[in-house]
Every structure is written in C-alpha cells, then in structure tokens.
Amino acid sequence: MRIAYLDCASGVSGDMTLGALVDAGVDLAAIQAGLDSLAWPDNTPNCRLIATQVKKQGFRATQVVVEHEPEHAHRHLHHIQKMIDGGSLTPRAHTLATAIFRRIAEAEAKVHGSTLEKVHFHEVGAIDSIADIVGAAIGWDLLNVDEVHCAPVPTGSGFIQIAHGRCAIPAPATAELLMGVPLAEHPPTGPVVGELTTPTGAAIVKELAKSFGPLPAMTIERIGFGAGQKDFDHPNVLRLVVGTKSGEAAPSSDPVSTIVLLETNLDDSSGEAIGDCVERLWAAGALDVALSPLQMKKHRPGVLLTVQATPADAERLATIVFRHTTALGMRRQTVERIVLPRRKVTVTTPWGETSGVVATLPGGAGERFTPEYEDCKALADGAGVTVRDVSQAASAAWGGQ
C-alpha cells in the first residue's frame, strides 16, 4: 500500500502543498493543464503556476506561486462548483476538489451564521486560492497514494487581517476546519507570531488525512519539500514523505484505533429523510452507519441512528445529521475500535474476475476471505447467474490459492 505523510512542522497552506507535491515528482504541466480546463468565467484573468527552487533557513524547497492579473470578485460555492464541473478533471480529482471547497463553505457558513447557498468566499474564492485547491486535488490524484497521514498541526499565534477585520490566529474558519484535528503547540524552534496554517491548508489536511500523529512505519520512496511564502526563524516548509506501508503482514501493528460514536433517537423524521441522511453520511466518509428500531415515548415507533466517525470527521458528520433530520440533540462519545489487518485481492471465477478482502485473524488463526458484493453482483447480472453462485465461486477460488 502506498501512503503519504504530511510533516507540517511549520503548518500547511495550499501553495505549500502544491510545492511539496511538485517537489515529490508530480508533473507541474499536468496540474496546469487541469487548471486550464476549468470553466473559468470569460472575464477571469489567466493564471499560471510558477515553480522555483528556494532556500528556507538553509533548506532547499520548491515554491509554487500563481501568477495572474489582479481581479476583484467574490464567489459563492455554486460559482466554483460550476468551474470544477466544467473542467476535464479525473473523477478522483473532481471529487477531492469539490469536497475541499465544500468543507470551507460549511466552515464559513457556520462562523458567519449563513448557509452554503448564501455564504461567499473572500480570500479562498480568489484565483490563486482556487488554483491552489484544485491544483492540489489534481496533484494528489497524480501522486496516486492509498492513504494520507498527517502530523499534528501548528496554527501560529497573533492576529491576521482578513476581509472581515482583524482576527486572532487561527482565523475563525481555520479553527472551525481544524475541529477534531490534533494541534501542535508550535514549531520545534518555539512560538511563532504569524499564520502558519491557512483555511486552504486546514481544509486539505482535514479532507485527506486518515490519521494524525508521528511518521508511520513505511519504506520511503521519495520526499518533497514545499516552501511557504513567509520567512521565519525556522524552515518554513511542508515535508511530504511518500512510500510503501511497512509490514503489509501488519498483525504486529496496533489494531486498536480511537473513533467517535454519534447517536440520536428519531421519531418524527420520515423514512425518506432518514434514508437520504444515511446516504449523505456514507458519501461524507462515515466509517459505519446503522439504523435500529426503537419504542419511544407515547408508544411511538422510532429509529436509533448510529454513526461511527474518525475524530477529524465527527463534527462534520454531526452537522449532516442535524441538517437532514429532525434531531435536536446527539450523544457523542470517544470509543476504541479493534480492527483486523486486511488487504484487497483479486480472484478469478468462471464468469470473470472479482475483488475481495482478506482479513488476518488474531492469534495466528489464519485468514478470512470476503468477496466484494458489488463485483459479484455485476458478474451475476452479466452472466445471468445468482450473486450466491459468484460469491461461492470466488470463495472457492481464494481457497485454492
């Protein structure tokens, strides 16, 4: 499994992320081509990515800047979504860019007491920020890693001037985006007066990172350094480490992880509304979503909605529940989850190939294979057989390996 680690000792921003991706080998011309394909409005100045080699406190890094003529435009989420939808991005890059902008819009809407439809972007809606976010989405797609992990994030200190006035660091939207993310007290060299993590950088790591902590066990393939625009007493760089996960036979790794459990009782939401909410939770990255029948007060039938989430996603998923159901409250608790090490495999059946998951059982008890339902269903539909026929054939094929 190919993984990436964001070592953000000096924080993270969109341009630092772009620089680290390019320094790690992602083709800048391919990112530029993706940006050029966007459905920019006719009056939008052209933007061009320029990558240069710089030194930050003696360390070499790649700095990416977005060159463009000045513009004066405030965009809403639907404006940017239209630009992304009109581009020639891959499905993965399109989904990532959309998700990052939506996270920012949700944060802005919350801190300003507005809605996704009405909130407008200031700095994040500018050409350079759009290029940073969409460019980063294209870059991550080209990097082609299976998982992204991240160090605790420092924010800096002091004050910053934004469109709404002078604000304490982290800026309100940045702080909202970083809810559930472990924060570092400051860079290793000591406290810094200034903004280290921007809303763009916070949204990128919140969307990408599977976990936050020290460098995971891995075999390093390449390292990229992305430079920030400012100079501090420490190297203002973002280090991107790319490699393969060590010990794919990972039973020796810690199988216990910490997750957030969200629960709410519903007795006045329609079945359609609850079903819609469940689909949105899955699409937003919930680890698991379950519905259980309840008998509630006044003998009304109800539903227990249970959501498992990573700590970084819990707040966002709770917002989805409140927005799309009649829930007035929610129980939230942090629990430990034991997960079996697993890997994906492909087996051959008489009707074609299907994928499956192999889980390693504890205590040396062997392995367990589970065919992928959607693959089995697709083969069954094409061959005119049952899903059970394909599933049994897949299991037999795995047992014969």
The amino acid occupying position 76 is H
At 359 the pLDDT is 87
Residues in contact with 398: Cβ distance below 8 Å, sequence separation at least 6, in sequence order: 345, 347, 356, 358, 369
Q: How does pLDDT run across 25-40, given as a tens digit for each residue?
A: 999 999 999 999 999 9
289: CATH: 3.30.70.1380
Same domain for 198 and 74, yes or no, is yes
Q: How far is CA 369 from CA 351, 360, 388, in A?
A: 19, 9, 15
Q: How does pLDDT run across 67-79, given as a tens digit for each residue?
A: 988 766 678 888 8
Same domain for 159 and 65, yes or no, is yes
Question: What mean pLDDT do residues 304-326 have?
Answer: 91
Same domain for 63 and 176, yes or no, is yes
Which of 83-87, 224-228, 267-271 is the most confident on average?
Answer: 224-228
Q: How does pLDDT run across 274-289, given as a tens digit for each residue?
A: 999 999 999 888 899 9
Which of 209, 231, 251 lies at the terminal end of a domain, its last residue?
251
Buried b (16+ CB within 10 A) or exposed e, 232-241: bebbbbbbbb
Same domain for 153 and 197, yes or no, is yes
Same domain for 158 and 261, yes or no, is no
- Rounded to 5 degrees, what angle do the CA atoms 388, 393, 394 make? 100
Structural domain boundaries enclosing 196: 2-251
At 164 the pLDDT is 65
DSSP strand pairing (209-212 vs 147-150): parallel
Same domain for 231 and 200, yes or no, is yes
Helix (H, G, I), strand (E, B) or coil at 41: coil
Q: How does pLDDT run across 241-295, given as a tens digit for each residue?
A: 999 987 543 333 445 678 899 999 999 999 999 999 999 999 888 899 999 999 9
- DSSP calls for 253-285: S--EEEEEEEEEEESSS-HHHHHHHHHHHHHTT
Question: What mean pLDDT do residues 295-319 have?
Answer: 90
Buried b (16+ CB within 10 A) or exposed e, 307-328: bbbbbbbbbbbbebbeebbebe
Which letter does DSSP use for residue 182 in this model? P
Model-level pTM?
Answer: 0.62
Question: What mean pLDDT do residues 336-364 have?
Answer: 86
- Are 125 and 73 in contact by the 8 Å Cβ rule? The answer is yes
Same domain for 154 and 261, yes or no, is no
Same domain for 90 and 157, yes or no, is yes
At 401 the pLDDT is 63
Same domain for 352 and 382, yes or no, is yes
Q: What is the mean pLDDT of the chain?
A: 88
| pLDDT beyond 80 at 116 | no
The amino acid occupying position 64 is V
Same domain for 299 and 392, yes or no, is no
The amino acid occupying position 249 is A
pLDDT band at 319 (very low <50, low <70, confident <90, very high): very high
At 311 the pLDDT is 84
Helix (H, G, I), strand (E, B) or coil at 234: coil
User: How many percent of the chain have pLDDT more than 90?
Assistant: 55
- 3-state helix, strand and coil shares in percent for the chain, rounded to the nearest 5: 35, 35, 30
Same domain for 282 and 379, yes or no, is no
Same domain for 346 and 377, yes or no, is yes
